Structure 1
């Protein structure tokens, strides 16, 4: 096989393998609640900006490796406006071709072989691949119901002392849990003046249903050890554009930029112009998105509670973390829902050992289909009792 031993040791990406795959389901029309792709269209103004930007002669040539000044300034302005965080456009901002690229590249950029990386369990599945590609050692950051927050005192001192990087993600994918500023203060305090760095995956930042999601960079001293990775995919319905950015600690940003200078030749200029326009002009759209998903959260959780189907509190993000009925594991329940109710959901196991008796349901589906899915879910309440 023409594959390196290092690459061969990494399991196939679950969603890379299954996304778009044809599924066999029961007699009802299929409802896909498995993938977190925004169901709405990209706003017309953003699309029109992209069309015009493609036609610009300067965007048909190579651009600066580390991005246009206009996009970096838009990122700086966005963080100041939304979080009161001051950033230096040249030293504290790194533009990413999709946040996944940055999240997977980060261990290679700053972690040495054999060093520990703490990964949330449950948490986004592809963090692990980045750790393994760097020949680092993944360690579990155990998150438990109902809040799914780190409990640093439960981690052994040996692990803490040898950890180089910690991944956090709030709102959490897959659980829908959120972090307060106090939670981030505890994390920064825990690792201040150590060799450990923190990366906060802020992909679902726009979706905070009970209060606005804080940035870890709002904590005093956070930039001494932390970076935050922000995505335009979910809040702006721009998943196909593949635009994100990292902000924060200068040393980590420098390492990411160096890594990218050897793997990318700069983001397409038209994409940069479009992202700049979105960041500068669509704050109100982010609020609309939040309101839409809050209503969906309210609808499904109210309906499940009415028939005593247990679920974890969903305070942010776009996913509901649903406990399986007794005598089902996640994979078995996925198959049951697919064949009996024609509902496709994601099993919990790709998100870690703590996910084996859960499934993840995406609310990124139009309201009419969601209403039908809710009715079908209510009809299986007997499985829980």
Structure 2
């Protein structure tokens, strides 16, 4: 089989290669801390709504390409309730068949071949694929510890002048860092009245441990330059449902909607009904999710400090970002952990060059497994003292 030249330029998806593969590990029971799939169940009300909606005749036929009015209105009301952001349901909302489809499809929708796209380094692995499929030029947006926020003074004016799109993601996957409203204000002001647009990946919006996570659309004028992509996978325990949405800048939304009319038909109506229920009725569940992962974060950071293992402060999200011991890069340390401690984590390298000497550790495990994992990791403290 031969790939097209365009597809051949795209590296294999790290998680596409690894999820579902048999894992060879050491003698201890395997603890999988590699994938960010929430460990709880989907709220019962969402499932009941989904099940009932299956029997509605209108949900067994083709639906409107751009979604039900009830679903779009629920998105509008959710953003008003949580972020005090006003949205137009038709021009400023685009439903997505999993947010990854929107994040990867956006460059093809609005970026021309040869234009720059700034990608956070470290940042989510599959942004790069979307840039390469659009024949655009990926440029790392260097994020430095401990806060992993953009320093725009370090990006050359030559790069910025040819940049069409900038990806931001907070809480950051993989580092667990968060942004303030001032972070977004700086970005919006920088790109105001320029051809550059911003997409903020808000996949871990529910998880802000020291303060609620702001939306970039809360910034005055943000809708002139930015969209935000919201996922229900993590906060609502709906990762298998593959549903999310983009909101904000009308032109970017129109481009995504046009793109999707050629790549997808209308979203399954029962899925839209279940998601509408989630947005309208699960605010308390989001608070519970945040409290659960904050407690886990506090416990894990305490145990790491007691063991003397360094880590980057985790302010949000569901991952903690650990440097590797001296003499190991991320991939080598992943193999060491598998064979010596039967712990599976993700190497930092797929998230960008700045992740080469890090591993990403998911906290989406039951408490007993998480405690056992911390004991095993704690036994490796001597590696960090060499």
TM over 0.5: same fold? yes
Q: How does 1:285-296 map to 2 (within 5 A)?
A: 285-296=285-296
Aligned position for 2:302: 302
Q: What SS does structure 1 have at the residue aligned with 2:138?
A: strand
Counterpart Cα distance in 1 of 2:377 and 2:296: 15
Partner Cα separation in structure 2 for residue 89 and residue 44 of structure 1: 27
Partner of 2:365: 365
Q: How does 1:184-223 map to 2 (within 5 A)?
A: 184-223=184-223
Matches of 1:330 and 1:90 in 2, distance apart? 45
Match of 1:264 in 2: 264
> 1:214-245, CA deviations, whole angstroms, 9 ceiling, x for partnerless residues?
00000000000000000000000000000000
Structure 2 residue aligned with 1:42: 42
CA distance in structure 1 between the partners assigned to 2:329 and 2:14 by the alignment: 17
Pairing 1:25-40 to 2, within 5 Å after superposition: 25-40=25-40
**C-alpha offsets along residues 68-112 of structure 1, whole Å, 9 cap, x if unaligned?**
000000000000000000000000000000000000000000000
Residues 268-347 of structure 1: pairs in structure 2 closer than 5 A: 268-347=268-347
Shift of 1:328: 1.0
> 1:314 aligns to what SS in structure 2?
coil
Q: Give the structure 2 partner of residue 229 of structure 1.
A: 229
Cα deviation, 1:273-329, whole Å, max 9, x if unaligned, reads 000000000000000000000001001100001121100010000000000011111
Distance in 2 of aligned mates of 1:331 and 1:352: 13
Unaligned runs of 5+ in 2: none
Give me the whole-angstrom Cα distance separating, in 2, the residues matched to 1:380 and 1:257.
50
Give the secondary structure class of the aligned counterpart of 2:261. Answer: helix
Q: What residue number does 2:242 align with? A: 242
The reply to whether residue 150 of structure 1 matches residue 150 of structure 2 is: yes
Once the two structures are superposed, residues 1-34 of structure 1 have per-residue CA deviations (whole angstroms, 9 ceiling, x without a partner) of 3321101111110000001111110100000000
**3-state DSSP of counterpart to 2:290:** helix
Q: How many residues align?
A: 385
Any idea what SS the aligned residue of 1:114 has? Answer: coil
Structure 1 outlier segments of 4+, above 3 Å = none
The aligned runs of 1:73-112 (5 Å cut-off) are 73-112=73-112
The C-alpha deviation readout for 1:146-171, integer Å capped at 9, x for no partner, is 00000000000000111000000000
What is the CA–CA distance in structure 2 between the aligned matches of 1:279 and 1:330, rounded to whole Å? 38
Listed one character per residue, the Cα deviations across residues 120-140 of structure 1 (whole Å, up to 9, x for unaligned) are 000000000000000000001
Aligned to 1:311, the other structure's residue is in SS state coil
Cα distance between partner residues in 1 of 2:334 and 2:130: 27
Task: Name the structure 1 match of 2:6.
Answer: 6
Instruction: Give the whole-Å Cα distance in 1 for the aligned partners of 2:38 and 2:118.
Output: 29
Q: Aligned partners of 1:132 and 1:310: how far apart in 2?
A: 35
SS at match of 2:200: strand
SS at match of 2:199: strand
Secondary structure at 1:100 match in 2: helix
SS at match of 2:24: coil
Q: Distance in 1 between matches of 2:82 and 2:342?
A: 41
Q: TM-score, normalised by structure 2?
A: 0.99
Q: CA deviation at 1:195?
A: 0.2
In structure 2, the residue matched to 1:162 is: 162
Q: State the alpha-carbon separation in 1 of the partners of residues 333 and 283 from structure 2.
A: 39
Structure 1 residue 55: deviation in Å?
1.0
Secondary structure at the aligned position of 1:359 is classed as strand
User: Residue 58 of structure 2 corresponds to which residue in structure 1?
Assistant: 58
Give me the whole-angstrom Cα distance separating, in 2, the residues matched to 1:207 and 1:350. 23
Q: CA RMSD in A?
A: 0.5
TM-score by length of 1: 1.00
Q: Secondary structure at the match of 1:113?
A: coil
